[in-house]
Structures are given as C-alpha cells and as structure tokens.
C-alpha cells in the first residue's frame, strides 16, 4: 500500500508542533557608515525590545542578509565619503532584494530628494526616511514594516504547510511486505523527532525516499531538505561544498559562497553515501554536528546553524571504522537511530505493487496507454535477481513503457536476461552488455557492497559508481 496518507497525518502533527513553538524577537538590521548614527538608532530601537544588528558598509549588509533572517533593514544611501548621489545605497537595495525579496527595506539619507526617494521605492524600498529623523515617525515605520514582513512570511509558511498537508511532493513508499513493516514503523516513530538517523541498505533500495519521508513528518517539513551526495564530491571541493567559502579563499573563489549547512539551517541535511566523506574532513563534519558551529573556507568567522542530519550508505561502517577509514565518534553521532532497508529480493511481495506504481508514473510521463503486465512479463520480473534493487526495477519499467506498443507490457519489452542464460550468451552480447552483466553478478555476490564489488572487478569505487549510474543500477 501507499503510506502517503499516514505520512500526511504525521506531517500535520509535526507542523502543528512547529506552529506552537515560541516566536523569536523581531530582528532589525541597521546600516550606516557613521558610528554616532548607528549608536543613536541602536538606543532608540533597543528601547522597543527589538533585536539589533549593525553594519557600516554594503559588504557588511550583504554578509548579514545572506546568513540571517531580518524583519526589517534600515539602510543609509551613502557610504563613501563626499558621495551624495545615493547610488551606493540604491545598488545595495537591489542586491538585498535579490537575496531576500521578503525583507522590507527602509532607506535613509541626509541628502533627500524626491528623485532619489522615487528611485528607491522603484527598486523595492518600502519607505523613506530623511536625516535628521523624527523619532516617532521612524518608530512607526519600523513597527509597520515588521508587522507586514511577519504577515508576509507567515502567509508563505502557511502556503508551504498547506501544500505539505495536501501531499504535494510527499514521498510515496510502496510497501506491503513484512520486511518493510519495521521501516515504516521507524519512519512514523522517529520522523517527528530531531534525532540524527543513519539509513543503511544496498544501492537502489530507496534510502533517499526514506530520508524524504523522515523529513516530511518532521517539524522541519516546511523547510526544504538539502541533499549532498558525498560520493560525488571530490576531496578538493568538499569543504567548500559543505561549509561555503569567502572570496579569495582559493584561485577560482571570485565571490563568497554559502555552503550546504547554511542552506539547511532550521531544516534537514541529507548526507548520502556518507562513507565516502574524506578522512581529513570528518573531524570538521563531526564538529558542526556536535556544536552547530563552523567557518567558511578562508574565513575565521564562526557561524552557527541548527540542522538535523540524515545520512545513508551501502557500506558496512563498522568495517570502515575497523579499517581506519571512518571515525568511530562520527559514526556515534550519525546513528542515534539506525534504519536498515531490505533488498528488493527480500521483499518480493512488493514487486507487483512497485511495478504497477512505476508503470503508472512512466505511462503518464510518456503519454502512453498501458494498463498492466502480461503474465509472462510479471513472471520475468518475479524471477529476476534485481541486484540494482528498486532503482533497477524503475529503470526496467521505464524502458518497457518506451518499447511497448501496448496495451500490456510483454516480457520482451522488459529487456531482462535471466541469470540462467546470461553466462551462456556472453558471445552474443555487446561489450557494454557484458560489463553490465559482470557488474550485476559482482554486486549480487557481495550483497550490494560497492567497495568489495569494486575490488573484485579491479575498479576504484568512483569508477564503479560511474558504471552503476550509466547502467541504471
């Protein structure tokens, strides 16, 4: 059965808990190049119980808005000495809007004019204050803009939550077999918590689907889940990918970059193929998981995030620890809860359901009228060893949908060779078919362990990963 309805109920409970969480104080960003102006505004607004942050340059404003959420920004239009055109502030205003279109910006200038005010409003400013300001008017403007920004963001959150409750983007877990019941129970039980979860299983078993289901029923469901494929990130760029970098950190770092941890702040970070994290980077990963603190590459400024970690691997991490390739303390932090997904060969009761599910998806995608499988085709599906698990089944059904004239999928449409005749027909197979066949045999022999299969085939892990992707395994 599809457990989408059950996940929807779980997600509704989690979102209700998130709504009931205490609200933070309103946060205001003040930007001016004159210290006395910053101090005067700080004293005035602090008395209103507002949380304040100051910046003295456009770069400081951009750095703040890129990393934190504010309810209103009060910015000067001139920062360079003897400049009165307001062009600096107008350009800054446009860049702020590009970073956060929901942030209301109130501009200030001692050289106010109708033309500058009109241009500021055209570029997205919500209001305009001329120095020296009237305290009562400035406070009224700030309060109004805070209320408007909070209402706008609340509306966006509610829309996201309503979409979530309607099941938009909800992962579909198709499972009736006894082997999958423990997985479904764990998703329901652990998903609403903030516990870190390690998802184990062979390639193609659906670890990513389970991760999305865990996120979907959590209190963080209204935030996106950020995904990092650790197997596809080279060691040279790993730190920049996860933690970001500042301009000039290395040769090609021409601008600042936000890393995946910052993108996932207040949400979920899914580290797929976690066993591939380079040993030299594991200590930094451990630190941010333990404390929430990190620095961008090339920067000494410590940043703070609140992220739930979901991770997945097909490797046996205890063996990786014993071999000195994976830190034991990092493993302890990752597997607060461990979910193991069975291979497709161990849940064959789900094969007809999964096949029909993928048939509907691909028939709709390719606009083909296909209603089901002939008995011979279903027999081939049931007899196949499926070393690539659910992902291989998905690709096989997609191919069959493309090849079938309809209205039913035939055995020949699937293009699957049984394990009985594969070896005897090697001389009739293309080089690519032989390679695919041998990789399938190796993956079956080593129960989906990529490291062991790669060693047996005389390939590196990365080379085998590329071939698995090429052949849809």
d(CA 370, CA 359): 8
Mean pLDDT for the stretch of residues 100-125: 77
Task: Out of 26-35, 220-229, 268-277, 410-419, pick the least confident.
Answer: 410-419
**Residues 351, 323 share a domain:** no
**Residues 326, 207 share a domain:** yes
What CATH number corresponds to the domain at position 87?
3.40.50.2300
User: DSSP class of residue 194?
Assistant: -
Choosing from 128, 157, 186, the residue where a domain stops is 157
19: in domain:
no
Query: 200, 194, 274: which is closest to 14 by C-alpha?
Result: 194
375: in domain:
yes
pLDDT per residue over 46-78, tens digit each? 888 888 999 888 888 888 887 778 889 998 888
Please, which residues have CB within 8 angstroms of residue 250's CB and are 6 or more apart in sequence? 240, 297, 298
Whole-number mean pLDDT of the chain? 82
d(CA 413, CA 431): 21
62: in domain:
yes
**Residues 274, 130 share a domain:** no
14: in domain:
no
pLDDT for 351: 92
Mean pLDDT for the stretch of residues 33-41: 89
Q: Which residue has the higher pLDDT, 270 or 13?
A: 270
**Residues 321, 197 share a domain:** yes
**Residues 350, 330 share a domain:** no
pLDDT per residue over 234-279, tens digit each? 777 888 888 888 887 777 777 878 888 988 888 999 999 999 888 8
**Residues 357, 329 share a domain:** no
Mean pLDDT for the stretch of residues 432-445: 79
pLDDT band at 82 (very low <50, low <70, confident <90, very high): low
pTM, two decimal places = 0.60
For residue 78, what are its two tokens?
């001139």
**Residues 191, 84 share a domain:** no
Choosing from 299, 324, 340, the residue where a domain stops is 340
Q: How far is CA 239 from CA 67, 189, 252, 307, in A?
A: 18, 33, 14, 17
Domains held by the chain: number: 3
d(CA 346, CA 181): 13
| Whether the predicted pLDDT of 375 surpasses 80 | yes
**Residues 325, 352 share a domain:** no
Quote the domain boundaries for residue 457: 346-470
pLDDT per residue over 295-306, tens digit each? 888 888 788 899
For residue 467, what are its two tokens?
């071939």
d(CA 428, CA 169): 44
| Whether the predicted pLDDT of 18 surpasses 70 | no
Q: Which residue has the tokens 């009562």?
A: 136
267: in domain:
yes
249: in domain:
yes
Task: Out of 96-110, 189-203, 215-229, pick the least confident.
Answer: 96-110
163: in domain:
no
Q: Which residue has the tokens 């600096």?
A: 88
**Residues 402, 323 share a domain:** no
For residue 394, what are its two tokens?
């998905």
**Residues 302, 192 share a domain:** yes
What CATH number corresponds to the domain at position 453?
1.10.8.60
Please answer whether residues 397 and 362 qualify as being in contact, where contact means their C-beta atoms are separated by less than 8 angstroms: yes
86: in domain:
yes
**Residues 350, 333 share a domain:** no
Q: How far is CA 202 from CA 116, 210, 316, 343, 345, in A?
A: 62, 13, 10, 7, 11
pLDDT per residue over 311-363, tens digit each? 999 989 999 999 999 999 999 999 999 999 999 999 999 999 999 999 999 99
Choosing from 307, 340, 373, the residue where a domain stops is 340
**Residues 352, 329 share a domain:** no
pLDDT for 112: 57
What CATH number corresponds to the domain at position 279?
3.40.50.300
């Amino acid at each position: 059965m599809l457990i989408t309805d059950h996940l929807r109920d779980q997600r509704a409970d989690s979102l209700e808990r998130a709504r009931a969480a205490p609200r933070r104080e309103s946060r205001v960003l003040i930007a001016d190049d004159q210290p006395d102006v910053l101090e005067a505004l700080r004293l005035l607004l602090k008395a209103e119980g507002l949380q304040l942050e100051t910046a003295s340059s456009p770069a400081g404003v951009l750095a703040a808005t890129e990393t934190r959420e504010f309810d209103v920004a009060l910015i000067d239009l001139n920062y360079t000495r003897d400049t009165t055109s307001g062009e600096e502030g107008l350009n800054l205003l446009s860049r702020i809007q590009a970073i956060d279109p929901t942030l209301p910006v109130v501009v200030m200038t001692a050289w106010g004019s109708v033309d500058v005010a009109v241009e500021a409003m055209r570029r997205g400013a919500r209001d305009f204050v001329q120095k020296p300001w009237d305290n009562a008017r400035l406070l009224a403007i700030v309060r109004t803009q805070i209320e408007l920004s909070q209402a706008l963001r609340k509306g966006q959150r509610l829309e996201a939550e309503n979409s979530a409750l309607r099941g938009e983007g909800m992962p579909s877990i198709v499972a009736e077999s006894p082997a999958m019941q423990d997985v479904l129970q764990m998703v329901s039980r652990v998903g609403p918590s903030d516990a870190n979860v390690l998802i184990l299983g062979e390639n193609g078993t659906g670890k990513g689907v389970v991760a999305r289901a865990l996120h979907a029923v959590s209190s963080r469901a209204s935030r996106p889940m950020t995904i990092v494929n650790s197997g596809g990130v080279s060691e040279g760029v790993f730190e920049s990918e996860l933690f970001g970098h500042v301009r000039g950190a290395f040769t090609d770092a021409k601008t600042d970059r936000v890393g995946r941890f910052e993108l996932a702040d207040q949400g979920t970070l899914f580290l797929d193929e976690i066993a591939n994290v380079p040993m030299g980077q594991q200590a930094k990963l451990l630190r941010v998981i333990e404390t929430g603190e990190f620095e961008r590459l090339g920067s000494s400024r410590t940043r703070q995030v609140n992220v739930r970690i979901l991770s997945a691997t097909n490797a046996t991490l205890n063996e990786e620890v014993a071999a000195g390739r994976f830190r034991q303390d990092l493993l302890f932090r990752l597997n607060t809860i461990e979910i193991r997904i069975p291979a497709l060969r161990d849940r064959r009761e789900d094969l007809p359901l999964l096949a029909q599910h993928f048939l509907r998806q691909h028939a709709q995608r390719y606009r083909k009228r296909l209603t089901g499988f002939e008995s011979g085709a279903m027999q081939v599906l049931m007899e196949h060893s499926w070393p690539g698990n659910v992902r291989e089944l998905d690709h096989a059904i997609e191919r069959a949908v493309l090849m079938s004239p309809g209205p039913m999928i035939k055995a020949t449409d699937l293009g699957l060779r049984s394990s009985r005749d594969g070896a005897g027909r090697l001389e009739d197979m293309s080089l690519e078919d032989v390679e695919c066949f041998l990789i399938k045999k190796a993956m079956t022999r080593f129960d989906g362990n990529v490291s062991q299969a790669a060693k047996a085939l005389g390939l590196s892990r990365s080379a085998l990963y590329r071939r698995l992707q090429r052949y849809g395994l």
